[in-house]
Amino acid sequence: MKPVASLHLKKERAHLKSGPHVDAHASLRTVPAKSGSYSSTPGNSSSVQNSGFSDSRFLMNTYARYPVSLVSGNGCRVCDKTGKTFLDMIGGIACVPLGHAHPRFVESVQRHALGLTNASNLFHTENAARLAGKLCAISGMDRAFFSNSGTEANEAALKLAMAATGKKRFIACTDAFHGRSLGSLSATFEPKYRKPFEPLSPPVDFVPYGDVAAIKAALTPRTAAVIVEPIQGESGVIVPPENYLLELLELCESKDVLLIADEVQSGNGRTGTYFEYLSHGGGRFKPHIVTTAKGLANGLPIGATLARGIDLDFKPGQHGSTFGGNSFVTGVASDVLDLLQKEKLMENAVLQGNRIQAAISQMNKKSVSAVRGKGLMIGIQMDGAAKPAMEALRPKGVLVNVAHDCAIRLLPPLVLSNNDVNEFVGAFNEVVV
């Protein structure tokens, strides 16, 4: 008997040979609207024609996308298919510190695309070595491993901690977000992300964020590492108590436990220093492992896992990545890092972030219970669901993101100008009571 898969493939080929050509880009009007989807009926305000939605029939339903189809960007502005322009206060969720289509970024992409793209990790490449050296000089770490995303950077950190200690258990914080791949998902707190895939590995114990005593109580002889965000992002931008990180490091070192700082969202200059942890303890705070991604290459896919100490290194074959550390992306990332410094964008993040927080606080809005954050990583806590405010801002030409249901999260490009801030503050003042 022939395998079912073979029979299926034969039928598929026969259909393709004899049947009519299928246009993958045919109008959505030929497809009946499914339950819960946006109707494509002419005249309907949520139709493809009127909203500028892309044809997403061939994409998995992984994301609850907003009803906007973006096609271009410049600086802190993005444009949809209908020609409407928006002030982008999301910035690809902290992925584009230089903004969209920054001329020097574009030049960097073009220049590096003319050289090596991906020579594989069988060979040394100058761009990967140069970027690793720059990141180590900034972070105080000794070596780097490159991947393609934040969740991969955290996966590498967890594996590295297990390889170095021989232990398999971790501690993370309530409301933490470290990624959605299986290893990183183990350290992500939100039950709706975790439950469909349990049991997860490695085992992780969760304790309240900002509570060193709780971490101390949770430590066991099997604990390999504690993983923590210097500022929690997905939970609505939560800043820890003063001295929390320094006290946590002292605890970990006294118990021979590694400390992993997840700077995927708070890093790359967003809070005023290249890594947020560099502002803690007067330079005395230095985690054992640091992870970063998002804005590292201004939106191109890259992650980095940095480590210090002679024992924190992989042996050949213990880990790897086909695309990680490729010459093209690491070359661009190196240029992005230089531009953040040359154009003083970290200083601008502090300036504009302070202006936003001060302006929102001075409004004394009844529906705003708190404004918090650092630099251009800001959470505006609403007294109830934040989605209505997000949706009210969109027609005003402002895009924001909701985190943890009740917070407006702002992660705009670090090139945000005075006029951009004024526009956001004015729109927010109009739509929020």
| 111 and 82 in a common domain | no
Residues in Cβ contact with 304 at an 8 Å cutoff, skipping those fewer than 6 apart:
135, 144, 145, 146, 147, 153, 291, 292, 293, 296
Look at the chain and report how many structural domains it folds into: 2
pLDDT at 22: 33
Whole-structure pTM value: 0.87
The three-class DSSP label of residue 238 is strand
Is 41 a member of any domain?
no
> Quick check: 297 and 94 in contact, CB under 8 A?
no
Is 33 a member of any domain?
no
pLDDT at 161: 98
pLDDT at 33: 31
| Chain segment 245-283, per-residue pLDDT in tens | 999 999 999 999 999 999 999 999 999 999 999 999 888
pLDDT at 127: 97
Q: For 202-231, b where at least 16 C-beta lie within 10 A, e where not — what string?
A: bebbbbebbbbebbbebbeeebbbbbbbbb
- CA nearest neighbour of 327 among 108, 169, 26: 108
Q: State the CATH number of the domain containing residue 204.
A: 3.40.640.10
Is 222 a member of any domain?
yes
- CA nearest neighbour of 246 among 272, 201, 279: 279
| 335 and 370 in a common domain | no
Q: State the CATH number of the domain containing residue 403.
A: 3.90.1150.10
| 350 and 337 in a common domain | no
pLDDT at 53: 59
Residue 97 is part of which domain span? 77-101+344-387+394-431
Amino acid in the structure at residue 338: D
| 81 and 142 in a common domain | no
> Quick check: 419 and 365 in contact, CB under 8 A?
no
| 123 and 167 in a common domain | yes
Task: Give the pair of three-digit tokens for residue 162.
Answer: 């297990």
Is 12 a member of any domain?
no
**Ordered strands of the 143-147 beta sheet:** 143-147, 303-307, 289-292, 258-262, 223-228, 169-173, 204-207
Q: Can the peptide bond before residue 241 be classed as cis, meaning omega within 30 degrees of 0? A: no
Q: Which regions in the chain score pLDDT beneath 50? A: 1-52
pLDDT at 56: 76
| 279 and 416 in a common domain | no
| 377 and 271 in a common domain | no
| 237 and 355 in a common domain | no
pLDDT at 54: 62
